[in-house]
Chains A and B, each alone.
Chain A
Amino acid sequence: MIALLWRDLRLAIRAGGGFGLGLAFFLIVVVLVPFGVGPETALLSRIAPGILWVASLLAALLSLDRIFALDYEDGSLALLATSPLPMEGVAMTKALAHWITTGLPLTFAAPVLGFLLSLAPEAYFYLLLSLLIGTPALSMIGTFGAALTVGLRRGGLLLSLLVLPLYVPTLIFGAEAVRRGAEGLDPTGALMLMGGITAGCFALLPFATAATLRINLR
């Protein structure tokens, strides 16, 4: 599984796209929001937690269809299925690789962009923390969605339709944690619940993803 993780990371760096594109998209979405809602600092500061979370969610969505599509096309997925790696392990590794190439950079880029939206100073720590806890769940859920649509020629749009409703709980708890942090309230509850979702996703979704992959390889 470590070999698979290294291969995926190496491919993400060499083939480009994965790393930079998500970040650039994140930046653009965040920059576009003030053009839409106006430059008023108080308003931006109030909606900043939500915007940062929604934007990182969309940025994570962008690279989901690459998780399995390339391996499916060139036959690697069938070869992995006959290898000693359990499919559950493949699913989890793929999600982890996606998180390292997308979720992790987004987490560290978010505070910088929070500055652009004049996020309240108290909220930066919670923004970092909530994204750190929440983005792995986004990657794991997205990996499940990618497995569902891997056999389809134009699965990209369908993938978004399937995955976005599944993102609702994570988004709610994530944005809520940052908002409470910004308003000086206690965000522990939201963070704990989000941690629970992330842990639950990693405990259960690899099985669903593996079953889905096996069905799609048939």
Chain B
Amino acid sequence: MLTVSGVTCARGGVPVLADVSFSVEAGHALILRGPNGIGKTTLLRTLAGLQPAIEGEVSYPEDEGAYASHADGIKTALTVTENLKFWADVHGATLPGDILETFDLADLKNRMGGTLSAGQKRRLGLARLGVIGRKVLFLDEPTVSLDGFSVRLFASWLQDKHLASGGVAVIATHIDLGIAAPELDLTPFKAAPDAEGGADEAFL
């Protein structure tokens, strides 16, 4: 469903990862590993189409990609339900009836986004993924500031709802989510210091 072939991506005009290739079948997930600064976020942003790849191709069904990062896009002046409803409307989807329960947000549904704790905000941000109905998820550190219970909540949603219904997920994370998924260490793909394709290349 998701095929990545020979992708080179750059951060700040400097190539960080070179020639990354992998593919993920429908219903499967892939965990990206690697030390800080290796380029996990850059790769995920490139895959999601937020920045162009210097080289290589990324292919997945059109209009099926979704990106989630530390910035959840939660509006502090909207309630939990309004925040979710907005993203559902933007994607032309309806709010699934059980979404608040799935992410343990039912008690918070009328709270303003601004009054949520960091972990609660994170759960709301992840609940957005359950609302927009996209098949190919690019998740950048989805479990930051979540407690153990919430991590299990998220992992079970990912496994039982998303992947079970034929979705795909590429996840950059440092912890063990407890789902069965192959891991891809990005360290071998680290771009050489003199890798080609950087914005400054013509000047060297």
Q: Do chains A and B touch in the complex (CB under 8 A)?
A: yes
Across the interface, do B73 and A218 meet the contact criterion of CB distance under 8 Å? no
Across the interface, do B90 and A14 meet the contact criterion of CB distance under 8 Å? no
Chain B, range 45-72, C-beta contacts under 8 Å to A? 48-52, 63, 65-72
Enumerate chain B residues within 8 angstroms of A218, measured Cβ to Cβ: 50-52
Q: Which residue of B lies closest to A90 (CB)?
A: B90
Is residue A217 within 8 Å, beta carbon to beta carbon, of the partner chain? yes
Enumerate chain A residues within 8 angstroms of B74, measured Cβ to Cβ: 74
Is residue B89 within 8 Å, beta carbon to beta carbon, of the partner chain? yes
Q: How far is the CA of A15 from the CA of B48 in the complex (A)?
A: 31
Main SS of the interface on chain B? loop
Mask: chain A, 1-45; 1 = CB below 8 Å from B; 0 = not: 011100100110011000000000000000000000000000000
Most chain A C-beta atoms within 10 Å of own C-beta, residue among B51, B63, B75, B132: B75
Chain A, range 62-110, C-beta contacts under 8 Å to B? 71, 73-76, 78-85
Q: How far is the CA of A170 from the CA of B76 in the complex (A)?
A: 35
Chain B, range 89-142, C-beta contacts under 8 Å to A? 89-92, 128, 132
Across the interface, do A3 and B48 meet the contact criterion of CB distance under 8 Å? no
Q: Which residue of A lies closest to B112 (CB)?
A: A14
A214 CB to closest chain B CB (Å) equals: 9
Q: Which residue of B lies closest to A16 (CB)?
A: B77
Q: Which residue of B lies closest to A2 (CB)?
A: B89
Across the interface, do B75 and A76 meet the contact criterion of CB distance under 8 Å? yes
Across the interface, do A3 and B72 meet the contact criterion of CB distance under 8 Å? no
Q: How far is the CA of A14 from the CA of B75 in the complex (A)?
A: 11
Enumerate chain A residues within 8 angstroms of B70, measured Cβ to Cβ: 75
Is residue B86 within 8 Å, beta carbon to beta carbon, of the partner chain? yes
Q: What interface size band does chain A fall in?
A: 20 to 34
Across the interface, do B67 and A82 meet the contact criterion of CB distance under 8 Å? yes
Across the interface, do A75 and B90 meet the contact criterion of CB distance under 8 Å? no
Q: What interface size band does chain B fall in?
A: 20 to 34
Across the interface, do B69 and A75 meet the contact criterion of CB distance under 8 Å? yes
Is residue B144 within 8 Å, beta carbon to beta carbon, of the partner chain? no
Q: Which residue of A lies closest to B73 (CB)?
A: A76
A170 CB to closest chain B CB (Å) equals: 31
Across the interface, do B92 and A84 meet the contact criterion of CB distance under 8 Å? yes
Question: A75-B69, A84-B91 are contacts. A7–B75 as well, Cβ < 8 Å?
Answer: yes
Across the interface, do A3 and B71 meet the contact criterion of CB distance under 8 Å? no
Across the interface, do A84 and B77 meet the contact criterion of CB distance under 8 Å? no
The list of the 6 closest CB pairs from A to B, nearest first, reads A75-B71, A3-B89, A76-B73, A14-B77, A79-B73, A75-B73
21 contacts between A and B (CB under 8 A): A2-B89, A3-B86, A3-B89, A3-B90, A7-B78, A7-B82, A7-B86, A11-B78, A14-B77, A15-B77, A71-B73, A75-B72, A78-B50, A78-B67, A78-B73, A79-B67, A79-B128, A80-B73, A82-B66, A84-B63, A218-B52
Give 18 new A-B contacts, CB below 8 A, not counting A11-B78, A71-B73, A75-B72: A7-B75, A10-B78, A11-B75, A14-B78, A15-B76, A75-B69, A75-B70, A75-B71, A78-B50, A78-B67, A79-B73, A79-B128, A81-B49, A82-B65, A83-B87, A83-B91, A84-B90, A218-B51
